[in-house]
């Protein structure tokens, strides 16, 4: 399965800007996007909205195929669900996965908060 890659998008934006000897401010003027958003996109710490993506993709002449990557389709949750014996085990497994997802989101928020420039 192909997914949109934030890493590829950030590399494409930064590469285009540097190859064309543009400052972030100049790219801001061309796209109408805020300089801070462009900086965060280049760092791979910001997922652009469709509008922001379209602004940059139009200037950079990007195609969606250039920004996708293959994702492993293995789903550990489904694999484990196939192995559980009772409905109580299945509910317990769901709760564990929900807690893991919540923890991962909290860790990402904490990292993003700690890495913001002062």
What integer is the mean pLDDT of 96-116? 84
Answer for the pair 5, 68: CB distance below 8 angstroms, yes or no. Answer: yes
What integer is the mean pLDDT of 10-36? 92
What integer is the mean pLDDT of 65-76? 70
Residues with Cβ within 8 Å of 66's Cβ and at least 6 positions away in sequence, in order, are 8, 12
Strand, coil or helix: what is 68? strand
What distance, in Å, lies between the first and last C-alpha atoms of the chain? 39
Task: Tell whether the model's pLDDT for residue 118 goes beyond 60.
Answer: no
Element (H, E) at 108: helix 87-115
Task: Tell whether the model's pLDDT for residue 82 goes beyond 80.
Answer: no
Residue of higher predicted confidence among 70 and 19? 19
pTM score, whole prediction: 0.56
Distance CA 114, CA 118 (A): 10
Confidence of residue 77 (pLDDT cuts 50, 70, 90): low
Cα Rg of the chain (Å, integer): 19
Among candidates 5, 61, 10, 57, which has minimal Cα distance to 37? 10
Element (H, E) at 59: helix 50-60
**Tokens 């950079």, located at residue:** 60
Task: Tell whether the model's pLDDT for residue 18 goes beyond 80.
Answer: yes
Instruction: Tell me the CATH architecture of domain 2-70.
Output: Orthogonal Bundle (1.10)
In the chain, domain spans: 2-70, 76-115
Q: What percent of the chain has pLDDT over 70?
A: 91
The pLDDT, as a whole number, for residue 76 is 67
């Amino acid at each position: 399965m192909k997914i949109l890659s934030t890493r590829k998008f950030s590399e494409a934006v930064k590469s285009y800007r540097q190859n064309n000897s543009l400052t972030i401010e100049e790219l801001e003027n061309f796209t109408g996007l805020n300089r801070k958003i462009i900086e965060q996109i280049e760092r791979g710490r910001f997922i652009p909205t469709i509008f922001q993506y379209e602004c940059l993709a139009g200037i950079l002449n990007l195609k969606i195929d250039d920004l996708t990557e293959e994702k492993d389709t293995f789903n550990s949750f489904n694999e484990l669900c196939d192995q559980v014996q009772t409905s109580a085990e299945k509910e317990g497994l769901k709760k564990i996965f929900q807690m893991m997802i919540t923890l991962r989101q909290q860790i990402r928020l904490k990292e993003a908060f700690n890495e913001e420039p002062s």
